[in-house]
Amino acid sequence: MLSALVLAPTAFACIWLGAETWTLLIAIGIAVLTWEWVHLCGLRTRVLPGMAVPVAVLSAGILAVAEHLNAALVALLVGWALTWWAAVAMRGRARLAYSAGWLAAGVLYIGIAGIALIELRHDNQAGRANVLFLFFVVAFSDIGAYLAGRAFGGPKLAPSISPNKTWSGAMGGLVAAMIVGVAVAAALAPGGASRAAAVAAMLAVMAQAGDLLESWIKRRFDVKDTSSLIPGHGGLLDRLDGVIAAAPAAALLAWTLGQGQPLWR
């Protein structure tokens, strides 16, 4: 609870204050996420090939901030390839506990989400509303899933990946996300309640898929949490798994709608 009381207001304050403050928070977040990913793969970020992951992702983020989106995406692909090459090249020289493919995957996994979050907030007219909508929907999808799963139980959603998740929890998270999505949309830019519910449902599904993906990744590495950085929460990857999956979908929708348009219009 104490961790949440510190983290949540900080995140929402940065969203509210503007694109510059938000970009600084994203840069810090990317640095932590890549550090956790490299350590999950059994390496360190201070030396190659582990160093390649944060360098590639942060370089792409700088290009995104400079409004060179295509170049940022190309940088991620180049960074993925170079990280994979460096990992393969060094694997034969030392006894390392990682797979080159897994290490390089972190560049795309974290980098695409980071660019999406930067692009969403950099829309001066609708950026604040869209990022707030995304975070509220993902947060309440998680809360609703937990409460419904505890209250109703029932058949397991994916027992081989995450034994505690149930279908009732998934439905509870979906309903909670839709209700909150409609409420947030009404507060920030009234109109389009049905569309707000539909967009919230889509983001909630993506967030729950991201949660399952993160659980599968942790099973692959045989760990409970990606780190112990946040007391009571685990690592930043553990807390942002839903956002990492939902943010690219939200950014793609925002790009389709055009500048200045809320996601639910």
In this prediction, residues 94-122 reach a mean pLDDT of 89
Instruction: Tell me: do 189 and 58 sit in the same domain.
Output: no
Q: Which of 102, 122, 142 is the last residue of a domain?
A: 122
Distances (CA, A) of 82 to 94, 102, 104, 203, 216: 19, 13, 8, 32, 25
Instruction: Tell me: do 113 and 130 sit in the same domain.
Output: no
In this prediction, residues 119-143 reach a mean pLDDT of 94
Backbone angles phi, psi at 236, to 5 degrees: -65, -35
Question: Over the stretch 26-40, which tens digit does the pLDDT of each residue have?
Answer: 999 999 999 999 999
Residue 1 has pLDDT above 80, yes or no: no
Q: Which of 96, 122, 148 is the last residue of a domain?
A: 122
Give pLDDT, residue 93: 56
* Domain enclosing residue 37, as ranges: 1-122
Instruction: Tell me: do 144 and 208 sit in the same domain.
Output: yes
Question: Over the stretch 183-217, which tens digit does the pLDDT of each residue have?
Answer: 999 999 888 899 999 999 999 999 999 999 999 99
Cα–Cα distance, 61 to 67 (Å, whole number): 10
Instruction: Tell me: do 97 and 154 sit in the same domain.
Output: no
Does pTM top 0.85 for this prediction? yes
Cα–Cα distance, 180 to 201 (Å, whole number): 10
pLDDT mean across residues, the chain: 92
Three-state DSSP at 124 gives coil
The helix (H) or strand (E) run that includes residue 102 is helix 100-121
Cα–Cα distance, 61 to 91 (Å, whole number): 28
Instruction: Tell me: do 94 and 138 sit in the same domain.
Output: no
Confidence band for 152, pLDDT divided at 50, 70 and 90: very high
Total domain count for the chain? 2
Instruction: Tell me: do 88 and 196 sit in the same domain.
Output: no
Instruction: Tell me: do 115 and 35 sit in the same domain.
Output: yes
Residue 92 has pLDDT above 70, yes or no: no
Instruction: Tell me: do 162 and 213 sit in the same domain.
Output: yes
Instruction: Tell me: do 106 and 152 sit in the same domain.
Output: no
Give pLDDT, residue 68: 96
Residue 69 near residue 122 (C-beta atoms within 8 A) = no
Question: Over the stretch 215-235, which tens digit does the pLDDT of each residue have?
Answer: 999 999 999 999 988 877 789
Instruction: Tell me: do 138 and 242 sit in the same domain.
Output: yes
